[in-house]
Chain A
């Protein structure tokens, strides 16, 4: 059951893999080949472990045997150990006859009886015995395979966080099977063309490892679709960076989402575009919370349509905020602080802050007698200055007190 690299990405979704990272078929992806050791041939060197051979003959990457002088670095004995017993179709071959793989060509194959392990061997053959510990056939972590897989090493050097990816066993299995040159490189080059910098590729791939199973043609088509909707190149780069899963969505789905936002908010095309560029996860997230929030603003809070439009263009995050937190914040600002609707519309940042911050600062200002939020009266404090500035500047300029006084007051609450 030899899977080729091209077949794996397309139908890995269809096969149900075991819950562990399965290293069986990874052998072909490993670093340059070992000298494969076969038993009982004078010309090629010998294998040490008997049991390994019983699992079948493995993994020759190239068709010819490499000379001992060519084997350079740290590659381990990839072959026999990797045949997992989990797969039902284990290739059990008799030891003497090599696998009928076309990749393999050995000279001087003969029908020899198996040799006993106690037979004395020559010094040269002894030196060429590879007795490295075998790779575990299944594992829950990618640490066991990272030193033997060029793909994984290059990904780590790019900055991809493997410890997060190994929590998703399907993704980890996929990455082990992929070949860096053939599968991963084209997608990386495509991402670089889009404008994503080298140091941003790591976090991007950590979030969206599924992009490797996407077809490059589909990805290009989606980018052309976005360009046809008049998103500039820089816009698309920013959107893809902030919402890594954007390009995994089909063109119809993206179209539906854009249409939904245009209809729901009744904004002009340019404003919808700006909104989506600022918060691209609107396109990748679920639409139910957005519909709920729109109802809350209109019916529960009593904002008018143009007021909601104004607030949403200023703070797009309002569309995806938590309903309960929004209600608590509006209740406090409108009922406790007595701030009317038209002033809240001018400062939608209040919906983006934590409730305790607003509460503490408002109570401090009330204690000092400076809690005045009506622009018509003197000593007016705008709401955005109440919430958006750090503590030191707030104490100095708005409350006209020291930070120690603020802390002492907090301990009396």
Chain B
């Protein structure tokens, strides 16, 4: 059972990381649960080994000796002597989430760890919902950090916020074009831009492809951000800077990732589902999509 289970355990799957849990602990918990599932199979059948015994030959009268081969049971490969069959698994983590953030976290098992690099090189965007709180400023841009400043926010309106978000999106669009090393004067580049397929070619700072305000009820406001090459701290800093642009201050109370590349919230496994069978099913369900998307991203973009 163990090796059959292991054969189905190669690929990518998404988990939902709750807030307050370190990503490393999540990875270790998933590995431990997988090992528990793999080692829980039926114990192997008792083995035998061959040894040669000295005994009297049949037919003769006891004086003549000969060696006969017999099978005797051996305990050398008994599970209580060797230990469990599986002691470690290769589990890798895709784009990390820090402790306070929550959301979709992609993990790779076995040969899927190779696909994690491919996903990284595909430069796909990620979706975040960011909840901001007007009126406070703290040192680490979070709600429970050390308070630095308190301000009023009555003058803030939805239009002002939307205007600032549009400015941000425009400047990031320019940066996106710059980092994609495309000459926008060519026809191919124009067609790509029209379809929205411009991507950076290698490392770049945080690039926001789209940002809009979903919900505005002062002091709270909810932003939906599509970005790449980001860290959650930079998103919180973004909220702080939006507050400064609005001539007030803001802190970020929640950062939640709702999509990582082609893994959505629905594919993400909750804590109660981190066991062998659910993970195997999730890998199998995601496998065709993963293969298609990675192949598409590796092809030249305007392939005929």
Q: What is the chain B residue whose CB lies nearest that of A127?
A: B65
**A147 and B18 contact, CB distance less than 8 A:** no
Given the known interface contacts A127-B66, A143-B76, A146-B75, the answer about A162 and B81 at a Cβ–Cβ threshold of 8 Å is yes
What residue of chain B has the Cβ atom nearest to residue A360's Cβ? B18
B19 CB within 8 Å of chain A: yes
A407/B270 contact (C-beta < 8 A), A147-B74, A356-B20 known: yes
How far in angstroms is the closest Cβ of chain B from A35? 8
Indicate whether B244 reaches chain A with its CB closer than 8 angstroms.
no
Structural contact, B78 and A156, CB atoms closer than 8 A: yes
Q: Is the interface of A mostly helix, strand, loop or mixed?
A: helix
Within B32-86, the residues touching A (CB, 8 Å) are 49, 51, 53-56, 62, 64-67, 72, 74-76, 78, 80-84
The number of chain B residues touching the other chain, given as a range, is 20 to 34
User: What's the Cα separation between A142 and B16 when bound, in Å?
Assistant: 43
**Quick one: closest A residue to B62, CB to CB?**
A69
**CB-CB < 8 A to A68: which residues of B?**
54, 65
Number of interface residues of A (CB under 8 A): 32
Chain A residues whose CB sits within 8 angstroms of the CB of B18 once the complex forms: 356, 360, 410, 413
How many angstroms between the C-alpha atoms of A160 and B56 in the bound complex?
38
- Interface contact tally, CB-CB below 8 A: 72
Q: Which residues of A contact B84 (CB under 8 A)?
A: 163
With a cutoff of 8 Å between Cβ atoms, the chain B residues found around residue A152 in the complex are: 75
Rounded to whole Å, the gap between the CB of A251 and the closest CB of chain B is: 34
Among B49, B62, B80, B268, residue most surrounded by chain A Cβ atoms (within 10 Å):
B80
Query: A25 CB to closest chain B CB, in angstroms?
Result: 22
Shortest distance from the beta carbon of A139 to any chain B beta carbon, whole Å: 12
B102 at the interface (CB under 8 A from A): yes
Do B54 and A143 touch (CB < 8 A)? no
Complex contacts, B83 vs chain A, CB 8 Å: 163-164
Q: Which residue from chain A places its CB closest to the CB of B19 in the assembled complex?
A: A413
Indicate whether B124 reaches chain A with its CB closer than 8 angstroms.
no
Shortest A146–chain B CB gap in Å is 5
Smallest CB separation, A153 vs chain B (Å) = 6
Contact of B54 among A71, A356, A407, A412 (CB under 8 A): A71
Asked whether any CB of chain A lies closer than 8 Å to the CB of B282, the reply is: no
Most chain A C-beta atoms within 10 Å of own C-beta, residue among B51, B55, B81: B81
Q: Contacts of A391 on B, CB cut-off 8 Å?
A: 272
Residues on A with C-beta less than 8 A from B56 are 69
What residue of chain B has the Cβ atom nearest to residue A161's Cβ? B80
Give the residues from 149 to 192 in chain B that come closer than 8 angstroms, CB to CB, to chain A.
none
Determine whether the beta carbon of B102 is less than 8 Å from that of A162: no
Quick one: closest A residue to B273, CB to CB? A407
Q: Which residues of B contact A162 (CB under 8 A)?
A: 80-81
Taking a contact as CB atoms under 8 Å apart, the answer to whether B75 and A160 are in contact is: no
Contacts of B80 in A (CB 8 A): 156, 159-163
Q: When the two chains form their complex, are residues A153 and B51 in contact, meaning their CB atoms are under 8 A apart?
A: no
Interface flag for B287 (CB, 8 Å): no
When distances are taken between beta carbons in the complex, the residues of chain B under 8 Å from A164 are 83
Q: Which residues of A contact B75 (CB under 8 A)?
A: 146-147, 152-153, 156
- Interchain CA distance A69-B83 in the complex, whole Å: 37
A-B contact pairs, 19 of them (CB 8 A): A68-B65, A69-B56, A71-B53, A71-B54, A73-B53, A74-B51, A74-B72, A127-B54, A127-B65, A146-B76, A147-B76, A152-B75, A156-B78, A159-B80, A163-B84, A356-B18, A356-B271, A360-B18, A410-B18
* Chain A positions near chain B (C-beta within 8 angstroms): 35, 68-69, 71-74, 124, 127-128, 142-143, 146-147, 152-153, 156, 159-164, 356, 359-360, 391, 407, 410-413
Task: List 8 tightest A-B contacts by C-beta distance, closest first.
Answer: A163-B83, A74-B72, A74-B51, A162-B81, A146-B75, A161-B80, A156-B80, A143-B76
